[in-house]
């Protein structure tokens, strides 16, 4: 007992012993020692893989002085015997916002376009000048939570903005303020989130954020070379912090791929902070070669006890609940290096149970320990001072009752820089067992079970009658109240006693009448934990991950087949027209032959008599499968952004498009500004990652827009202040930008031809002007949103002035009024079949528009601009027959060959021709008919949609739903905390959708 008291005394004094010498001391007199502390007979995990049995850990001045089995203990040393206990390096979480106050959000609702700051970067979400160490205030309460969870060191930063500035490294030293700051700047932070402090409009989309980051890096380079005439503290901070660990909070599997893409472009090395869904795209995650920081915030089970509510849940959410605990295992199995973080946990107490859950689902314990110690230390480049218990490291360690990731293990103490933080009293004796209890010569049976630190009492008489009792134990003092069985009486008996020997307990009993007598208890048998077999938590059956991991995803990525379609009606879109009873062979992803009586031994034969075979539908104007924003409307020009950055491979609308016979789409930027963003031309390879969906070497396209949307005519009450507000202004925007692009292009051309060799300074890289220069150089095509005749003529006029041609007018609902001028200019048209009356500028829109332009010799396509209509474009084509008497053959080209021509991909797709990509659709009847349905949709010979397989999928989905609901109900029965059913709102983008 005395030893313990002494120890407590010393440990209390310890921190003072190495306070910095030059600090004035007004507390007492100088009290400096160089005492050691030795922890002996412990199982010591020097590193996760280097374990010493019965070893000694020697520390002094907050650092490890020695560790091993042969450590000589100096004389001025306090020794703590840890026989049977284990020592682990304490955990490190490099991704927290510990001690950082949440930045205050702006209350300004009106948009602002220019910055209000002076001396910083032009965009207020670039806050690289922020330093966490300056904003930091040690949070004692939060620190205790972290200490209890086993953490000794945390990295912290201000989680606000796209560039968030530097992060600092803090020791969770609750005793000595001066030692808390380990390093002022260790990390430099980024994320795809706008600052809450600004009402600046730009960037309003994910693609805008990506473009902004790129421009920021170009500007950094340019600034470093001394080109700027203005002071920019944001860029200076960025330059100063280049050597720090660059952490990118991508917070999503696809965003991780996106951040990694930027890193690759600029030769950076981001450590990516994920969100736990990495397993869904593990192959691609692995290919990034990035290191990760991963949270353990698995979703709570949904309360599905109300079937009506359960019914509303999306399968993918139910499935994610089931699969999320396997994320860490999948990452580890794939050799991905990652640290763990407590970020996004609802409460710190969830950390351990969640981690144990991951371990139950196969996450290796050693890997878990590494992810909490050596890996975060290594990520910070501080392996020599933390993360292990090697000599010279910080004396940051936890003492446990046993194997740290064993459910029964108790965490006793968490030492930080040689300061002890008590989690559970290590000295608590294990009194559990069965005893013969004697109180005042009366005999009882006494069973003590429960936890060591919270034992429970069960007293019975010799004839096995139960007597109510309650046991508490603190500092090895036991106190038991024995209650009378008649609850109306107050005849309590109280036992107290100090535990010295766990075989023989004894003390004083205070009887109900106030008399004091002795009691004693002799252990008759040791404690055996009763295992209630009904309570053993069995692992849930894990639903296999599909590609993508949503309903109708494929268990395996499909592959190209050799297929022979026999006796089909083939709409060739070529000179041959529509061929009856014709065979088409698909081989190696291409259309191999077309004709009668074709045979191929290796082919799967599909009898298609009475059915129709066409090339896949091409949607020139689509906004499906886009992540977080179709418009970058924060500026009147956003040529720097590209939809290629934000293709969302997991969108169910891809599958639905396939079911409607659509194989290719141009994903266009919206129409919020005159100069929009660059397009992505994609093939709907359902299951493939976004990068594989992008056309290889695709022609460059950019969206332009005219009219009501760009002049913010229908933007509602939020006062529109952005230039332009009239069609007159729109012309000026174009003229101005093209003039600047011309000058920009010239400057670079001059530099490239002479400047490089001479002393000429490189012009600033401007991604926006660079893109516009591509248009001037005929390397990029414009697809322009347009409605009324005046603006149609205007843009052609501007283009002609700058010596290029507008490639496509999209929407173009008044094209019929100026078809002759359009033909002259050489522009194509991608329009709606019959839309009108939704705004003032479509008052003269007519369903004869397409046919009139077609008859004028313009290449005409019908597009969707709408997820739902996209899957019925075959029917839209039929409206050209209905309203304009266009021939069926020509009408069909409105949604196949013509959009292929407009997109300059008609050398690969758009018709059934030998050598072209096997992007084809088998229809049950004439594809223009309302009664037609796609039976098979192929892209490059791969069957991505098959009506029969779809039926099987539906059965599987129903089965999976009921399995998951069953698991969730079971979870609730077990008393696990649950959350109410909910789902995220689906976002369907149209041209004028401004929200993210």
Partner 1 sequence: MISKKIYLLILAFSISILTQAQQTPAAKQSKSILILNATAHLGNGEIIENSAIGFVDGKITLVADARVIRLAAGAYDVTIDASGKHVYPGFIAPNSTLGLVEIDAIKSSDDEDEIGAMKPHVRSIVAYTADSKVIETVRPNGILMAQITPRGGVISGSSSIVQLDAWHWKDALIKENDGIHINFPTTFKRGGTRFEPGNIEANKDYSKQILELSSFLSNAKAYLGESSKERNLVLESTKGLYDGSQTLFIHANEEKQIIDAVQFTKESGIKKMVIVGGYEAYKTAELLQKNNIGVLLRRVHEMPENDDHDIDLPYKNAKLLTDKGVLVGLENSGAHERMNTRNLPFLAGTCAAYGLDKEQALQLITSNTAKILGIDAQCGTLEQGKDATLFVSEGDALDMRTNKLTNAFIQGRMISLETHQTKLNDRYKTKYNQK
Residues 891/851, Cβ–Cβ less than 8 Å: no
75: tokens are 């004389």
- DSSP assignment of 255-323 equals HHHHHHHHHHHTT--EEEE--S-GGGGHHHHHHTT-EEEEE--PPPEE---SHHHHTTS-HHHHHHHHH
Q: CB of residue 972 vs partner 1: minimum separation in angstroms? A: 16
Residues 426/11, Cβ–Cβ less than 8 Å: no
Our CB check for partner 1 shows the closer of 316 and 611 to be 316
Our CB check for partner 1 shows the closer of 69 and 885 to be 885
Q: CB of residue 886 vs partner 1: minimum separation in angstroms? A: 11
Between CA 271 and CA 289 the distance in angstroms is: 10
Our CB check for partner 1 shows the closer of 340 and 964 to be 964
Q: CB of residue 981 vs partner 1: minimum separation in angstroms? A: 7
Phi, psi of 637 (to 5 degrees): -130, 135
Q: CB of residue 841 vs partner 1: minimum separation in angstroms? A: 9
Between CA 841 and CA 724 the distance in angstroms is: 17
Q: 3-state class of 473 per DSSP? A: strand
Our CB check for partner 1 shows the closer of 301 and 551 to be 551
Cis check: omega of the bond before 724, within 30 degrees of 0: yes
- Could you tell me if residue 165 is left (phi over 0), alpha (psi between -120 and 50 degrees) or otherwise beta? left
Q: CB of residue 793 vs partner 1: minimum separation in angstroms? A: 15
Our CB check for partner 1 shows the closer of 224 and 933 to be 933
Cis check: omega of the bond before 823, within 30 degrees of 0: no
- Give the count of beta carbons closer than 10 Å to the beta carbon of residue 35: 16
Our CB check for partner 1 shows the closer of 149 and 706 to be 706
Our CB check for partner 1 shows the closer of 865 and 940 to be 865
* 338-341 and 291-295 beta bridge pairing: parallel
Our CB check for partner 1 shows the closer of 559 and 984 to be 984
Q: Which of 304, 296, 303 is nearest to 329 (CA)?
A: 296
Q: CB of residue 107 vs partner 1: minimum separation in angstroms? A: 10
Q: CB of residue 735 vs partner 1: minimum separation in angstroms? A: 28
Can you list the pairs that 872-876 forms with residues at least 24 positions away whose Cβ atoms lie under 8 Å?
872/660, 873/617, 873/619, 873/660, 873/661, 873/662, 874/617, 874/660, 874/661, 874/923, 874/927, 874/928, 874/932, 875/928, 875/930, 876/832, 876/833
Q: CA distances (Å), 502 to each of 400, 442, 457, 762, 910, in order? A: 21, 21, 15, 81, 85
Q: CB of residue 717 vs partner 1: minimum separation in angstroms? A: 11
Between CA 281 and CA 638 the distance in angstroms is: 30
Q: CB of residue 925 vs partner 1: minimum separation in angstroms? A: 9
353: tokens are 């149970």
Our CB check for partner 1 shows the closer of 201 and 875 to be 875
Q: CB of residue 931 vs partner 1: minimum separation in angstroms? A: 4
Phi, psi of 522 (to 5 degrees): -115, 130
Our CB check for partner 1 shows the closer of 449 and 834 to be 834
Our CB check for partner 1 shows the closer of 18 and 552 to be 552
Q: Which of 27, 80, 22, 168 is nearest to 395 (CA)?
A: 80
Q: CB of residue 307 vs partner 1: minimum separation in angstroms? A: 9
Q: CB of residue 851 vs partner 1: minimum separation in angstroms? A: 9
Our CB check for partner 1 shows the closer of 60 and 926 to be 926
Residue with structure tokens 């840890």?
Answer: 82
Between CA 38 and CA 60 the distance in angstroms is: 9
* 578-587 and 563-571 beta bridge pairing: antiparallel
Residues 244/190, Cβ–Cβ less than 8 Å: no
Our CB check for partner 1 shows the closer of 167 and 981 to be 981
435: tokens are 């005893």
Q: CB of residue 722 vs partner 1: minimum separation in angstroms? A: 18
* 934-939 and 942-946 beta bridge pairing: antiparallel
Residues 486/501, Cβ–Cβ less than 8 Å: no
Q: CB of residue 934 vs partner 1: minimum separation in angstroms? A: 11
* Binding interface with partner 1 (CB under 8 A): 109, 308-309, 311-312, 314-316, 550-552, 652-653, 655-656, 659, 708, 713-714, 816-817, 819-820, 834-840, 843-844, 846-848, 852, 855-856, 867-869, 872, 875, 878-879, 881-882, 888, 926, 928-933, 950, 954, 957, 961, 980-985, 988
Give the 3-state secondary structure of 750-788: HHHHHHCCCCCCCCCCCHHHHHHHHHHCCCEEEEEEECC
Q: 3-state class of 402 per DSSP? A: coil
Residue with structure tokens 């404690």?
Answer: 527
Our CB check for partner 1 shows the closer of 261 and 933 to be 933
Q: CB of residue 494 vs partner 1: minimum separation in angstroms? A: 48
Q: CB of residue 573 vs partner 1: minimum separation in angstroms? A: 18
Residues 245/291, Cβ–Cβ less than 8 Å: no
Q: CB of residue 105 vs partner 1: minimum separation in angstroms? A: 10
Our CB check for partner 1 shows the closer of 120 and 571 to be 571
Q: CB of residue 878 vs partner 1: minimum separation in angstroms? A: 4
Q: CA distances (Å), 245 to each of 209, 267, 293, 379, in order? A: 21, 14, 12, 7
Our CB check for partner 1 shows the closer of 517 and 846 to be 846
Q: CA distances (Å), 718 to each of 109, 110, 125, 668, 712, in order? A: 8, 6, 21, 25, 10
Our CB check for partner 1 shows the closer of 182 and 869 to be 869
Our CB check for partner 1 shows the closer of 616 and 847 to be 847
Q: Which of 210, 53, 166 is nearest to 680 (CA)?
A: 210
């Amino acid at each position: 007992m005395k030893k313990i008291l002494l120890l407590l005394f010393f440990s209390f004094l310890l921190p003072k012993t190495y306070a910095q010498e030059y600090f004035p001391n007004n507390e007492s007199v100088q009290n400096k020692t160089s005492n050691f502390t030795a922890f002996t007979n412990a199982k010591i995990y020097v590193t996760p893989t280097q374990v010493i049995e019965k070893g000694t850990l020697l520390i002094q001045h907050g650092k490890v002085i020695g560790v091993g089995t042969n450590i000589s203990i100096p004389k001025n040393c306090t020794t703590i015997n840890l026989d049977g206990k284990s020592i682990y390096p304490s955990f490190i979480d490099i991704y927290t916002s510990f001690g950082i106050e949440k930045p205050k959000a702006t209350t300004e609702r009106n948009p602002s376009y220019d910055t209000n700051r002076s001396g910083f970067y032009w965009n207020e979400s670039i806050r690289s000048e922020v330093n966490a160490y300056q904003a930091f205030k040690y949070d004692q309460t939060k620190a205790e939570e972290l200490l209890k969870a086993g953490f000794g060191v945390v990295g912290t930063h201000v989680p606000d903005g796209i560039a968030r500035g530097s992060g600092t490294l803090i020791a969770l030293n609750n005793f000595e303020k001066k030692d808390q700051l380990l390093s002022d700047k260790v990390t430099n932070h980024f994320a795809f989130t706008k600052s809450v402090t600004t009402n600046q409009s730009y960037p309003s989309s994910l693609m805008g954020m990506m473009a902004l980051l790129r421009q920021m890096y170009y500007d950094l380079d340019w600034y470093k070379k001394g080109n700027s005439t203005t002071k920019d503290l944001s860029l200076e901070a960025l330059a100063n912090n280049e050597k720090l660990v660059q952490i990118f909070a991508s917070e999503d599997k696809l965003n991780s791929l996106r951040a990694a893409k930027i890193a690759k472009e600029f030769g950076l090395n981001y450590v990516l902070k994920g969100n736990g869904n990495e397993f869904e795209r593990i192959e691609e995650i692995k290919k990034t070669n990035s290191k990760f920081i991963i949270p353990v915030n698995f979703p709570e089970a949904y309360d599905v006890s109300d079937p009506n509510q359960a019914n509303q849940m999306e399968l993918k959410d139910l499935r994610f609940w089931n699969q999320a605990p396997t994320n860490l295992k999948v990452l580890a199995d794939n050799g991905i290096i990652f640290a763990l973080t407590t970020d996004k946990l609802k409460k710190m107490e969830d950390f351990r149970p969640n981690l144990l859950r991951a371990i139950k689902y196969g996450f290796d314990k050693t890997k878990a320990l590494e992810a909490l110690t050596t890996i975060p230390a290594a990520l910070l480049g501080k392996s020599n001072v933390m993360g292990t218990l090697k000599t010279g490291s910080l004396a940051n360690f936890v003492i446990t009752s046993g194997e740290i990731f064993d459910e029964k293990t108790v965490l006793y103490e968490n030492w930080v820089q040689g300061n002890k933080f008590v989690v559970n009293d290590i000295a608590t004796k294990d009194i559990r067992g069965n005893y013969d209890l004697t109180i005042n010569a009366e005999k009882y049976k006494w069973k003590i079970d429960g936890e060591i630190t919270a034992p429970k009492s069960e007293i019975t008489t010799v004839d096995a009658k139960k007597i109510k009792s309650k046991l508490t134990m603190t500092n090895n003092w036991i106190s038991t109240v024995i209650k009378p069985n008649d609850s109306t009486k107050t005849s309590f008996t109280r036992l107290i006693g100090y535990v010295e020997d766990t075989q023989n307990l004894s003390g004083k009993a205070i009887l109900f009448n106030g008399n004091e007598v002795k009691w004693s208890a002799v252990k008759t048998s040791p404690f055996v934990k009763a295992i209630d077999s009904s309570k053993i938590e069995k692992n849930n059956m894990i639903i296999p991950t599909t590609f993508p991991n949503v309903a109708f995803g494929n268990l395996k990525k499909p592959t190209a087949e050799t297929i022979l379609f026999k006796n089909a009606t083939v709409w060739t879109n070529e000179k041959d027209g529509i061929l009856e009873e014709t065979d088409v062979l698909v081989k190696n992803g291409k259309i191999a032959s077309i004709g009668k009586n074709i045979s191929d031994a290796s082919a799967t034969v599909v009898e298609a008599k009475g059915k129709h075979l066409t090339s896949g539908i091409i949607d020139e104007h689509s906004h499906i499968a886009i992540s977080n924003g179709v418009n970058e409307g924060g500026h009147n020009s956003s040529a720097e952004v590209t939809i290629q950055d934000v293709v969302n491979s997991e969108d169910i609308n891809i599958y639905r498009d396939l079911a409607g016979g659509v194989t290719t789409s141009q994903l266009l930027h919206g129409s919020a500004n005159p100069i929009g963003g660059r397009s992505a031309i994609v093939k709907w390879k359902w299951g493939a990652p976004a990068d594989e969906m992008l056309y290889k070497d695709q022609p460059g396209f950019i969206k332009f827009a005219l009219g009501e949307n760009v002049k913010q005519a229908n933007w509602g009450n939020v006062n529109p202040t952005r230039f332009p507000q009239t069609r007159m202004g729109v012309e000026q925007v174009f003229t101005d930008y093209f003039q600047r692009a011309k000058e920009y292009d010239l400057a670079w051309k001059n530099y490239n031809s002479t400047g490089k060799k001479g002393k000429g300074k490189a012009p600033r890289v401007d991604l926006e002007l660079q893109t516009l220069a591509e248009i001037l150089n005929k390397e990029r095509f414009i697809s322009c949103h347009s409605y009324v005749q005046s603006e149609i003529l205007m843009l052609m006029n501007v283009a002609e002035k700058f010596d290029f041609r507008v490639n496509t007018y999209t929407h173009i609902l008044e094209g019929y009024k100026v078809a002759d001028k359009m033909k002259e200019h050489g522009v194509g048209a991608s329009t709606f079949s019959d839309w009108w009356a939704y705004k003032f500028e479509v008052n003269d829109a007519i369903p004869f528009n397409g046919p009139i332009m077609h008859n004028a010799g313009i290449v005409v396509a019908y597009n969707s601009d709408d997820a739902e209509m996209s899957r019925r474009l075959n029917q839209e084509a039929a409206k050209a027959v209905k309203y304009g008497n266009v021939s069926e053959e020509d009408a069909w080209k409105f949604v196949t060959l013509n959009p292929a021509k407009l997109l300059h991909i008609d050398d690969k797709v758009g018709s059934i021709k030998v050598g072209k990509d096997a992007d084809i659709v088998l229809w049950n009847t004439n594809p223009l008919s309302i009664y037609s349905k796609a039976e098979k949709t192929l892209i490059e010979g791969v069957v991505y949609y098959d009506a029969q397989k779809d039926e099987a999928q539906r059965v599987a989905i129903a089965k999976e739903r009921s399995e998951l609901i069953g698991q969730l109900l079971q979870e609730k029965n077990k008393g696990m905390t649950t959350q109410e059913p909910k789902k995220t709102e689906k976002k369907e983008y149209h041209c004028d959708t401004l929200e993210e």
